[in-house]
Amino acid sequence: TTYTERLLIRAMYKFDEIIAERKWQIITLMVVLVLQIVFGGIFYSAASQETVLESMWLCWTYLTDPGTMASVPPDGPERFVASVVTVCGIFFFAFILGFVVDGVLNKMSDLKKGTSMVVESGHTV
C-alpha cells in the first residue's frame, strides 16, 4: 500500500476510535449541527434576500422541522437550498436516533449481565 492509503486507513481507524466514545459522539454531532446551520445559512442567504443571521435561523427551522419548508417560495434557488438543508436535518436526526438506540442497547446489555450494583439490603439476591 502507498503512503496515502496507509494514512487514510489510519485516519479512518482513529475516527472509528473517537466516534465509539459517547462524549465524542455528542461533540461530533454538535459540530456537524453548527456546520450545517452556518453553511446552510450562508448558502440560503446567497440564494435569497435574507441576512446571514436570519438565514441561519431559517436553516435551523428547516433542520428541526421539515414542515417549515412549506413556506419557502415555490420558485427560485431558496427552495433548493431549503430542500438540501431539510434532507441534511433528516439524516442528522437519524444519526442522533441511532446513537440513542445504541446507548439504550448498551445499557440493556449491562443490565442483562447482572453486574450492576445492588443497593437493596436485607434480602437474598
- Whether 78 is in a domain gets the answer yes
- Whether 64 is in a domain gets the answer yes
Unique residue bearing C-alpha cell 465509539 = 20
What mean pLDDT do residues 18-28 have?
87
The pLDDT assigned to 110 comes to: 85
What mean pLDDT do residues 84-107 have?
92
The contacts of residue 57 (CB under 8 Å, 6+ apart) are: 41
Spatial separation of the C-alpha atoms in residues 42 and 61, rounded to whole Å: 15
Q: How many domains is the chain partitioned into structurally?
A: 1
Range of the domain at 61: 23-108
pLDDT for residue 116 is more than 80 = no
What mean pLDDT do residues 11-26 have?
89
Q: Which CATH number goes with the domain that contains 77?
A: 1.10.287.70
Model confidence over 75-94: pLDDT tens digits?
Answer: 889 999 999 999 999 999 99
- Whether 103 is in a domain gets the answer yes
Model confidence over 25-73: pLDDT tens digits?
Answer: 899 899 999 999 999 999 999 999 899 999 999 999 999 998 888 888 8
- Whether 11 is in a domain gets the answer no
Query: pTM (2 decimals)?
Result: 0.76
The pLDDT assigned to 81 comes to: 93
CA-based end-to-end distance of the chain: 56
- Whether 38 is in a domain gets the answer yes
Spatial separation of the C-alpha atoms in residues 27 and 84, rounded to whole Å: 23
